[in-house]
Chains A and B, each alone.
Chain A
Amino acid sequence: MKNINFLFVLIFGLSLGLTSCEDFLEETVKDQVSVDYIYNSPAGLEVGVNALYNQMRFYNLPSGDNSDLWANVFFMVATDLGLHRTWNTPYGTGHNPQSFTGSKWIQGYKIIDRCSAIITSARSIKMDEAAKKRLVAQARVIRGELYLDLKQMYGGILIDTIPTTPQNINDPVEYKVASDADVYKLIDGDLDYAIANLPFKVDPGRYGQGVARHIRGKSALWQQDWAEAAAQFDAIINDGTHGLVNLIDVWGQNGNHKESLFTYQKDFLLGPSDELAGGGGSWLSSVFTHRTYELNTSELVQDVAYGGQALGWFYPNNYLKSLYDQANDLRFKTYYYSDNYQDYKINVPSNPKFGQPITNPAIAAPNGNYRAWHWSLKKYHDSEKLPMTSNSYKDYMYYRLAETYLLASEAHHNLGNDTKALAYLNKVRRRGYTGNPESTVTTFDLTAWTLNNYLDESARELAFENNRWFLLKRLGLLVERQNLYFRSSPSGTISGEVQLKMTPAMVNMPIPQSQIDLMGKPAGFNVGYN
């Protein structure tokens, strides 16, 4: 029996004594880094800022076909320049707090919180002050940019600059619409800090002083502080780091040119998903392009020259088309695919007429088919895209100097300086007509600064960029113009084109109902929606 007891004590004792409970139950994460590292070390701060760019790219250029894409496409198309064929219907039954995508609201506040965490924690990190300021300045541009974005989209928003932690998550919060003054104070504070601490010249993919001033100028326009706006825009124009490029290069394959104030970087080879460095395949190049290859399968197959695999969900409309001097304005042929069938050449190798123009597509009203044939946008054309996919990995220019010129023109007009206002307007216009940014040809110059001249020129230059919806909203013209010119044709025919009524309340996007519910339905949000 002695033996037995010994054995028992040995085994039981061994297994008990193997570990101390505390150590045994402690968790150490293997495949992620601790938050402490990011917010408490110089190296952590840097990777924290890098990740903000990744998040912003997802915010403004998500991959695939989803509600995140719709959140971006909406602002490109749901204006007086757009035509809807299918996919989501702007201002339709889905335009309410229950159904409309909450992508911008949710992602926006997420990135704002991460910016705040970096801005706050940087204060206590010991490192080279200049380097620290450059990092913090980038986080502050992003925060300012996002608050301006949310303010423009939703009207009534919340502001909060305290980073969320498990410790403060349950602190009492009063949900109320932030006053315009408070919102703009926060935005301007962030951007002014960034302008003071960022150089103009930065590596492609990074925020520099140019983009900070551009956003700061936009903020000033919303506040009708014309002098401030003009000063910011002039500073960018006069600095010389940025300049207009040849028309052909504006939306060319290289998005990192002089005219770009900021371009989102993508590279298939660095990982093809939103989470990875390279970024996921964007569908922007397909959304606004007709499917010519469906016209006649014996004549055309998917060809990158004509946009490759395409979707044709939204198109530029006839009103926009009417704004162009089609013979002389080179932007008509540069920013859009040709609407002349003879420019499309038969590319089915077995077709005896290979290389010759395709036969006249049946585009005559009312039996045409917009899906296969409609005047289409070429700005997001990607000549390196694979022909049988909608995925494009082309860099995406998000802010550009041409917009700066046009906005500056508006600011100077409001300051009473129409000479300068016209000069800026014509600077962009001359490039449009000659292709040359330095052109001095005055033949096509506008001679008077009027609101219509300004809006039309802006449309010709910036259509389907992230500009029109916000511009019209700021000028109080969005509902009126939208209802005048926007069209929807689910049948894909001219005769099927109908107007979709935008109600005045829709100038503020619906905040997701789930968020309203979570806040306990406070007053002041989603005014005019159910």
Chain B
Amino acid sequence: MKQNKHVKMFCREGKYLQLVLLLFMCILSTTASAQESPITGKVVDNAGLPLPGVNVHVKGSTKGTQTDFDGNFTISTAPKSTLVFSFIGMDEVSVETENRKNLKVVLKPSSQALDEIIVVGYGTKKKSDVISSVASVKPGDMTKVATSDVGEMLRGKAAGVQVSLNDGGPGSSSSIQIRGKKSINGSNEPIVIADGIVIGNINDINANDIASLEILKDAAAQSIYGARASNGVILITTKRGKTGKAKISYNGFSGVQTINRNFDVYSGEEFAQLKREAYRTSNGGVYRPDNQVFTPLELESVQSGKYIDWEKLVLRTGVTNNHSVSISSGTEKTSIFSSINYINTSGVIANSDYDKVAMRVNVDQRITDWLKVGMNVSLQFSESNRPNVGNILNNAINTSPLGQVYNPDGSFRYLPGGIQETPNPLIDVYETNTNELNRNDIMNVFLDINLAKGFTYKLNASRRSWNYKAMSFNTSKSLSGIANSGQGSGYIRFQDNVEYQLSNILHYNLNVAEKNHFNVTGVYEITSSEYNDFRNSASRIPSDILGIYGLESAFLNTPEIGGNERSLISFAGKLEYDFDSKYYFTVSGRADGSSVFGANNKWGFFPAVNAAWNVSNEEFMKEHVPVISNLKLRASYGKVGNQPKDPYQSMATATQRDYIINGVKVSGYVPGSQLSNPDLRWETSTQLNLAADFGLFKNRLNGTVEVYNTDTSDLLIYETLNANTGYTTKLSNIGKVNNKGLEVTLNGDVIKKKDFRLNLGATFTKNKNSIVSIYGKDADGDGREDDAVGNLWFIGKPIDVYYRYKAVGIYQEGENIPLVTGTTLYPGDIKLWDADPSNGANPNPDQDRVITSKMPDWFGTFSVALEYKQFDFSADIYTVQGITRDNPFLYDYVRGGSLRGVKNGIKQDYWTPENPGGNWPRPRDGNDPPYINTLGLQDASYIRLQNVSVGFKFPESTLKPLGLSNMRLYVTGSNLVTLTDYQSYSPEKEIYDYPEPVTCVIGLQVGF
């Protein structure tokens, strides 16, 4: 039986094997060798120092070697052949042997950074020729962050890119926002393109495989991606095999995780006193005897002084491991890059863990001088386990510390304090679990054809698939099991998504009279994808023996099924021209036809223009202002789109709503609350971008300053309809949002000596977001467009705001307390801000509510990189300023915020007659203090020491005997310190969310 299973497994993987085999069959390397003789030589740098580890290989053969520690090499080859010398950071050099037996080769450092190759839409460019806003993130800087989330690695690495964590649990991901929030109800996430293929999530790529990562920020750079580009584009290129001796690298780290908090909860004594106070308030100000306040179990705690620390019982120290091995090898004709990455994390919350394996093979094969084929295959598998409690930390904080954790027999006590509202939070940590399996496959085959000089054609065909399987189970002993009279429950869910993409790309390069450079790109692309979702929920499974596999015996199984298809056809083009690398001009555009657009609006067109002047290439600059080594001024203007997130929103459909007639199920269908929109189309963002790139003192101080102004119109908005139409929402293209911003990136090589280098860098991003228009109506005739108050959209204010009454203090005894409808206020209750006290004490919703933005004023980073002899040190500080968040733990009953003595919560200085200085309302049982929800807004600005890394590179003398080319040992800490006023485990998360952990790891990088 077991064998059979493996056979089946191979069959299942057969599809990939077949493709891989096919490709290898194409690869027929022909190496005929003539008479050979040994050649020796020495490789040095331009200072004359020997260079170890330089790849030496014979052109046109697979033969290769490396220099030793003294820069010497020996290789056998035909008397007349060409040797190629390559080394990272140095320009490649080819030398004709011409019967010589001994060679001396000098390698020069790679031309300066400006000649780096940057990936742009459907092509690459020298950095000095890039005239749109493209931010490159160094892969080496990314992998320094000890996390499994690529999004988290990008945080603070580029101006204009804001990263916030979705959920800090093991295997989590982040949301990335480029240049502000443009869409109200559409997606605000950039598209991620890896090796020319749109992928689902940035984490579908192993961070260690990334050769370059570029972020396209302005319309000129984005427009070639048309209707999907307005939230920005992230371009990832993975590593490829290099000609020469195989190179094996290992990078790995292991470490521990924990979490920090900046608040206190009430201790056992304090909570008991809070409860007494709450009961006292509703008892006319007279304390009630303890036996009336506390249940017998609680009273036992109060009398014995033995309290429960739930947080301690729920949290643990997490462990994280990340190991990555890659092999790069290649001959003249064939090169292969392959890698494997293994990640394993046990979360800080008990019973949560995550495992992930990522594998990649990138193959290139030159078939003839005009034809090259290649294939990239990436496979990822991940598995995670988590208890089925969305708010474990929440329960850990707000479960009363009074009572007993265990029954006398050692099992968990269902109600530790005998109170129905606070069951034992540990039960579901251990008695529930969701096991999720993800599989991500990305495969593409490409063909490069040289049609004529300067004229190339590329075909890129890809298939990307995602398979998801979740098995969730609550045992008979879980809280839901108890509610179901000791029966388990759970669900099993399968989701899959397959996307095909076929791109045809034509490039034509032409130089006229040497100084006129033309570049033409044409693209035709089709994409189609299919999504399926099946879920079977099982209620009341009589036994736990098989877990969710016992669903066949469930009292009731409820299946749900869903699925959709979507497709996109695109034509794109770009014409670039420059004169003598001084004056640049580009026109580009894309036409997208998308299935998700309404029947009346199937095609959108997105053009852009940009121009630049490379001032530093002018002769007068070189002569008169030598201190400026680089100065480029550029401007761009263009349109990009954002297509609706979900398919079928332009279609009028009815959903299944069955009923029972005479005890029998009858079928029912009815349209939902959202009205369809046959005119549905894309959002259009029109962006003007002005920028200056500069470099001073031979580029030792360099940077970029950019300003932009983006108007996003035809916003995808869930327009709120008047309910008496029978519909409450409609996805419409209305309104306009503006984003204006300033981005500054600075980088300076402060000290640049052989043994001592110090680099400082900083980014600053300020984005101002405002709603320009929504419905365009002025019903009240005040000459100003009406706000959409019901949706909290205010003209001239940011998209995301709070609109609430504001607490300004606590009423004191003897104070004149106004009468309000619906309640009586007493000393110790919250005093609200009143714009106009003369119009009565009742809070006036039109006048007394205050608008508060949820958007940050600015965010930025400061980074230090230092190298001294064998040691290196780097640190990043990240800050977000001027942001306000709502903290439900300050007021919400279920979060322990409403001071009723039922749930524990964040400790506050509450008012009592004896403590009139308290800034929080007087506790009362039974009901929440009036207006307590006005206390929720808190400043969530923060400064975080995001990443600190200390490394030690072993000297050559130690490595030589071991046969290693390099070895670095490092210690990295992530999220070590966070300074903020926001009371939570993280200023970006609510307390009940899984917070981003503080991580400390020890790592090792080795190269063979």
Q: Assess whether B959 is interfacial by the CB under 8 Å rule.
A: no
B925: contacting residue among A11, A96, A271, A491, CB under 8 A: A491
Contact: B925 with A54, CB < 8 Å? Answer: no
Q: Assess whether A105 is interfacial by the CB under 8 Å rule.
A: yes
Q: Assess whether B647 is interfacial by the CB under 8 Å rule.
A: yes
**Closest-CB distance, A54 to chain B (whole angstroms):** 4
Instruction: Tell whether A47 pairs with B669 under 8 Å between CB atoms, given A8-B457, A31-B562.
Output: yes
Contact: B722 with A519, CB < 8 Å? Answer: yes
Contact: A113 with B725, CB < 8 Å? Answer: yes
Contact: B659 with A53, CB < 8 Å? Answer: yes
Question: How far, in angstroms, from A268 to B596 measured CA to CA in the complex?
Answer: 37
CB within 8 Å of A: which of B548-605? 555-556, 558, 561-567, 569, 593-597, 602
Interface magnitude class on chain A: 35 or more
Segment of A14-22, A228-236, A438-446 in the binding face: A14-22
Contact: B926 with A48, CB < 8 Å? Answer: no
Residue of A nearest to B655 (CB): A32
Question: How far, in angstroms, from A114 to B675 measured CA to CA in the complex?
Answer: 12
CB within 8 Å of B: which of A121-167? 158, 160, 163-166
Instruction: Tell whether A33 pairs with B662 under 8 Å between CB atoms, given A27-B647, A110-B723, A490-B925.
Output: no
Most chain A CB within 10 A, of B459, B561, B668, B790, is at B668
**Closest-CB distance, A79 to chain B (whole angstroms):** 17
Residues of B within 8 A of A520 (CB): 777, 779-780, 786
Segment of A352-360, A460-468, A510-518 in the binding face: A510-518
Most chain B CB within 10 A, of A44, A102, A110, A515, is at A110
Residue of A nearest to B925 (CB): A491
**Closest-CB distance, A370 to chain B (whole angstroms):** 9
Segment of B135-143, B307-315, B726-734 in the binding face: B726-734
Q: Assess whether A318 is interfacial by the CB under 8 Å rule.
A: no
Most chain A CB within 10 A, of B676, B679, B726, B820, is at B726
0/1 interface trace, chain A 39-59, chain B, CB 8 Å (1 if under): 000001001111111110100
Instruction: Tell whether A518 pairs with B668 under 8 Å between CB atoms, given A21-B593, A158-B724, A166-B652.
Output: no
CB within 8 Å of A: which of B664-679? 665-671, 673, 675-679
Contact: A109 with B726, CB < 8 Å? Answer: yes
**Closest-CB distance, A490 to chain B (whole angstroms):** 3
Most chain B CB within 10 A, of A25, A29, A500, is at A25
Interface size for B (C-beta < 8 A) is: 105
Contact: B665 with A91, CB < 8 Å? Answer: no
Segment of A274-282, A415-423, A426-434, A479-487 in the binding face: A274-282
Most chain A CB within 10 A, of B288, B595, B597, B658, is at B658
Q: Assess whether A181 is interfacial by the CB under 8 Å rule.
A: no
Residues of B within 8 A of A50 (CB): 657-659, 661, 666-668
Q: Assess whether A204 is interfacial by the CB under 8 Å rule.
A: yes
B651: contacting residue among A12, A27, A158, A490, CB under 8 A: A27
CB contacts between A and B, total, < 8 Å: 316
Contact: B659 with A205, CB < 8 Å? Answer: yes
Residues of A within 8 A of B653 (CB): 29, 32-35
Residues of A within 8 A of B283 (CB): 366, 491, 493, 495-496
Segment of A212-220, A330-338, A383-391, A406-414 in the binding face: A383-391
Residue of B nearest to A158 (CB): B724
Q: Assess whether A530 is interfacial by the CB under 8 Å rule.
A: yes
Question: How far, in angstroms, from A276 to B724 measured CA to CA in the complex?
Answer: 25
Q: Assess whether B821 is interfacial by the CB under 8 Å rule.
A: yes
B569: contacting residue among A24, A30, A517, CB under 8 A: A24
**Closest-CB distance, A23 to chain B (whole angstroms):** 10
Contact: A294 with B420, CB < 8 Å? Answer: yes
Question: How far, in angstroms, from A201 to B295 measured CA to CA in the complex?
Answer: 54
Contact: A105 with B723, CB < 8 Å? Answer: yes
Residues of A within 8 A of B296 (CB): 297
Contact: B790 with A48, CB < 8 Å? Answer: no
Residue of A nearest to B452 (CB): A1
Residue of B nearest to A7 (CB): B449
Question: How far, in angstroms, from A489 to B815 measured CA to CA in the complex?
Answer: 26
Question: How far, in angstroms, from A519 to B725 measured CA to CA in the complex?
Answer: 11
B669: contacting residue among A26, A51, A53, A512, CB under 8 A: A51
Contact: B726 with A269, CB < 8 Å? Answer: no
**Closest-CB distance, B184 to chain A (whole angstroms):** 16
Question: How far, in angstroms, from A343 to B852 measured CA to CA in the complex?
Answer: 57
Q: Assess whether A272 is interfacial by the CB under 8 Å rule.
A: yes
Question: How far, in angstroms, from A264 to B567 measured CA to CA in the complex?
Answer: 44
A517: contacting residue among B447, B721, B790, CB under 8 A: B790
Q: Assess whether B502 is interfacial by the CB under 8 Å rule.
A: yes
0/1 interface trace, chain A 242-271, chain B, CB 8 Å (1 if under): 000000000000000000000001111111
Question: How far, in angstroms, from A275 to B721 measured CA to CA in the complex?
Answer: 22
Question: How far, in angstroms, from A384 to B594 measured CA to CA in the complex?
Answer: 53
Q: Assess whether A345 is interfacial by the CB under 8 Å rule.
A: no
Q: Assess whether B266 is interfacial by the CB under 8 Å rule.
A: no
Q: Assess whether A98 is interfacial by the CB under 8 Å rule.
A: yes
Residues of B within 8 A of A521 (CB): 779-780
CB within 8 Å of B: which of A79-133? 85-86, 89, 91-98, 102, 105-106, 109-114, 116-117
Residues of B within 8 A of A11 (CB): 447, 459, 504
Contact: B845 with A530, CB < 8 Å? Answer: yes
Contact: B284 with A35, CB < 8 Å? Answer: no
Contact: B662 with A205, CB < 8 Å? Answer: yes
A166: contacting residue among B371, B449, B678, CB under 8 A: B678
Instruction: Tell whether A163 pairs with B652 under 8 Å between CB atoms, given A15-B526, A55-B657, A276-B558.
Output: no
Contact: B723 with A15, CB < 8 Å? Answer: no
Contact: A276 with B484, CB < 8 Å? Answer: no
Contact: B650 with A106, CB < 8 Å? Answer: no
Instruction: Tell whether A277 pairs with B665 under 8 Å between CB atoms, given A15-B502, A109-B726, A169-B725.
Output: yes
Contact: A47 with B820, CB < 8 Å? Answer: no
Contact: A388 with B724, CB < 8 Å? Answer: no
CB within 8 Å of A: which of B285-319? 288, 292, 295-296
Q: Assess whether B513 is interfacial by the CB under 8 Å rule.
A: no
B677: contacting residue among A26, A97, A166, A173, CB under 8 A: A166
Contact: A57 with B659, CB < 8 Å? Answer: yes
**Closest-CB distance, B290 to chain A (whole angstroms):** 12
Instruction: Tell whether A277 pairs with B927 under 8 Å between CB atoms, given A92-B822, A491-B283.
Output: no
Contact: B504 with A31, CB < 8 Å? Answer: no
Residues of A within 8 A of B910 (CB): none
Contact: A203 with B822, CB < 8 Å? Answer: no
Question: How far, in angstroms, from A18 to B283 measured CA to CA in the complex?
Answer: 79
CB within 8 Å of B: which of A197-228? 203-206
14 contacts between A and B (CB under 8 A): A24-B528, A24-B567, A24-B569, A36-B652, A48-B668, A92-B823, A93-B823, A109-B723, A114-B726, A166-B677, A166-B678, A205-B659, A279-B660, A517-B790
Given contacts A25-B594, A160-B724, A512-B723, 17 further A-B contacts (CB under 8 A): A8-B451, A8-B457, A11-B447, A25-B593, A27-B596, A32-B655, A38-B669, A52-B670, A93-B820, A169-B721, A204-B661, A271-B665, A297-B296, A388-B485, A489-B926, A491-B925, A496-B282
Residues of chain B at the chain A interface (Cβ within 8 Å): 279, 282-284, 288, 292, 295-296, 370-371, 418, 420, 447, 449, 451-452, 457, 459, 482-485, 502, 504, 524, 526, 528, 539, 555-556, 558, 561-567, 569, 593-597, 602, 647-648, 650-663, 665-671, 673, 675-679, 720-728, 730, 777, 779-780, 786, 788-791, 820-823, 842, 844-845, 924-927, 930-931
What 7 A-B pairs come out closest when comparing CB atoms? A113-B726, A490-B926, A514-B790, A51-B668, A491-B282, A50-B668, A277-B658
